[in-house]
Amino acid sequence: MDIDQFLVKSSLQFVDKASFTWQTPSNIALVKYWGKSEPQIPKNASISFTLNNCHTITTIEFQKIEKSEEVQFEVFFEGSKKEEFKPKIAKFFQRIQEYCPYIFEYQMTIHSQNSFPHSSGIASSASGLSAIASCLMSLEQQLIPALNADFVIKKASFLSRLGSGSACRSLEGPLVVWGNHPIIEGSSDLFGVKFPHKIHPIFSNYQDVILLVDKGEKQVSSTVGHELMFDHPFAENRFQQANENLTKMSTILQNGDITSFINLVESEALTLHAMMLTSNPYFILMKPNTLEIIHKIWKFRQEKNSNICFTLDAGANVHVLFPENEKETVLQFIENELSSLCYKKEYICDVSGFGAKQRS
Ligand code: DP6
C-alpha cells in the first residue's frame, strides 16, 4: 500500500488567510464495514450509497501563525462553541499530522451544521469528518497549486478514513467501495473509490427514507463495536462473507436483479446486528419498534408486490430503500403505517447523491 503518496513532498506556498466551505453527505452501507485494525484498516471491503439530503456544511477559516507544538483550533456547531466536540477532532488531527504538516501553522476556526437533527443516530461522523478533510484539502491545494483534482479527492477520502472509517465513502457517489477487493479495480484499504461499473437504471436515484426510531445516545459506540470483532468467534467467517457479498452486489448493481438486491441488503443488515448479539460483551441496538417496522416492511412487500427493503446502521433507526418508480406508494405506506413507530413521527426522505460539493 502506497501511503507515501499522501505525504507532502513539495514546498508549501503559505498564504496568510484562507477560508473554505464544503457540503459533504452521509452514506448508507449495503455491504457493511464492521471490524478494523490499526490505523483504520477495514477487515473487509464495503460498499455504500452516498446520500444527498443528509449532509454537513463546514467552513474552516485558516489564519497563519508561527509553527505551533499543538494544533490550534476552535469548533462551533450550529453557532455555539462546542468544547465537547474537540477531543474527537483533536484525535483526527493527530492521526493526519504526518500527512498534513501545515495544520501546525494555522489557527483553524471550524463552523459546522447538519441538515439532519443532532444525535438522530444518523452517521454524522461520516459527513462531519469528510467535510473537515475536504476543507483541509482545499487549503493544501492552495499551498501546492500543482496538485491535481483526482489526487485531491483521493487524499480527502484517505484523510476522512483516518477520522472515521465510513467517512471515506462520502466524497463521491452514487456508490463507493472502500477496501481492497479483487473485482474492484483501483480499490484500496486506504480510501474509497467510485463503483467503477455502469449501474442498472433501476438503481438510479435510489430512495432511502430514514425512520428515526430512537434519538438517544447509543449505549455502545461504533468504535467499541468494531473492537469487539477482535476476538469474536464468527469474525473470520464474517469478513470472508462480506467480501463474497461485495462480489455478488457488484453483479446485482449491474444486472438490476432487484430480488437478489433485497435479499443481500437485508441479510447484511441482520448479519451486522447478529455480530453485535454474539459479541462478548453482547449488546442489542435494535428497539422493539425496529422489529415492528421490519415486519411491516416484509408484509407490505409481499402484499403489494413491492421492491421495498430495509437496512440498518449501528443503531435502532431503519433505512427504507426502494426504487424511484415506487416513490408515491411507499411514501404513503410510510406516512400511514410506519411514521407512528418513529420518535415524534419523524423520518427523513433521502436519495442517492454524488458526494462532496465545495460551496465557497
Ligand atoms: C455499521 O465508520 O462509524 O455504519 O471507523 O470507528 O469511525 P469508525 O466507525 P464507523 O462505522 C460504521 C459502521 C456501520 C457500517 C458501515 O457504514 O459500513
What is the 325 CA–ligand 1 centroid distance (Å)?
A: 30
Q: Is the per-residue pLDDT at 147 higher than 90? A: yes
Q: Are residues 188 and 205 in the same domain?
A: no
* Residue 357 is assigned to a structural domain of this protein: no
Residue written as grid cell 474537540: 86
Selection from 217, 216, 239, 237 nearest residue 226 by Cα? 239
Q: Are residues 209 and 194 in the same domain?
A: no
Q: Are residues 163 and 81 in the same domain?
A: yes
Q: Are residues 109 and 213 in the same domain?
A: no
Domain that holds residue 100: 4-198
Residue 33 CB–ligand 1 contact under 6 Å:
yes
Q: Are residues 104 and 9 in the same domain?
A: yes
- pLDDT at residue number 222: 87
Residue where a domain stops, chosen among 198, 221, 236: 198
Q: Are residues 245 and 101 in the same domain?
A: no
Q: Are residues 186 and 154 in the same domain?
A: yes
Give the confidence band of 307 by pLDDT, cuts at 50, 70, 90. Answer: very high
Q: Are residues 121 and 10 in the same domain?
A: yes
Q: Are residues 125 and 233 in the same domain?
A: no
Residue 29 CB–ligand 1 contact under 6 Å:
yes
CATH number for 296: 3.30.70.890
Residue 130 CB–ligand 1 contact under 6 Å:
no
Residue 178 CB–ligand 1 contact under 6 Å:
no
Encode pLDDT of 156-184 as tens digits: 999 999 999 999 999 999 999 999 999 99
* Residue 358 is assigned to a structural domain of this protein: no
Q: Are residues 143 and 228 in the same domain?
A: no
Q: Is the per-residue pLDDT at 151 higher than 70? A: yes
Q: Is the per-residue pLDDT at 206 higher than 70? A: yes
- Number of domains making up the chain: 2
Q: Is the per-residue pLDDT at 27 higher than 80? A: yes
Per residue in 109-139, is it b (16+ CB within 10 Å) or e — as a string? Answer: bbbbbbbbeeebbbbbbbbbbbbbbbbbbbb
> Would you call 217 exposed, middle or buried from its count of C-beta atoms within 10 A (0-12, 13-18, 19+)?
exposed
* Residue 356 is assigned to a structural domain of this protein: no
Looking at the chain, the whole-number percentage of residues with pLDDT higher than 70 is 98
What is the 105 CA–ligand 1 centroid distance (Å)?
A: 31
**Ligand 1 closest atom vs CA 164:** 7
Residue 313 CB–ligand 1 contact under 6 Å:
yes
Q: Are residues 78 and 173 in the same domain?
A: yes
Residue 242 CB–ligand 1 contact under 6 Å:
no
Q: Are residues 32 and 177 in the same domain?
A: yes
d(CA 159, CA 18): 20
Encode pLDDT of 88-135 as tens digits: 999 999 999 999 999 999 999 999 999 987 666 676 889 999 999 999
d(CA 151, CA 156): 8
- The 10 Å Cβ neighbour count of residue 229 is 20
Helix (H) or strand (E) holding 91: helix 86-96
- pLDDT at residue number 122: 73
Encode pLDDT of 50-78 as tens digits: 999 999 999 999 999 999 999 999 999 99
Cell of 338: 410506519
d(CA 341, CA 221): 24
What is the 32 CA–ligand 1 centroid distance (Å)?
A: 8
DSSP state, 352?
A: B
Q: Whose CA is nearest to atom 5 of ligand 1?
A: 165
Residue where a domain stops, chosen among 198, 220, 242: 198
Residue where a domain stops, chosen among 146, 178, 198: 198
CATH number for 98: 3.30.230.10
Residue 320 CB–ligand 1 contact under 6 Å:
no
What is the 67 CA–ligand 1 centroid distance (Å)?
A: 34
- pLDDT at residue number 120: 66
* Residue 110 is assigned to a structural domain of this protein: yes
* Residue 206 is assigned to a structural domain of this protein: yes
Region for residue 124 given its phi and psi (left: phi exceeds 0; alpha: psi -120 to 50; beta: otherwise): alpha
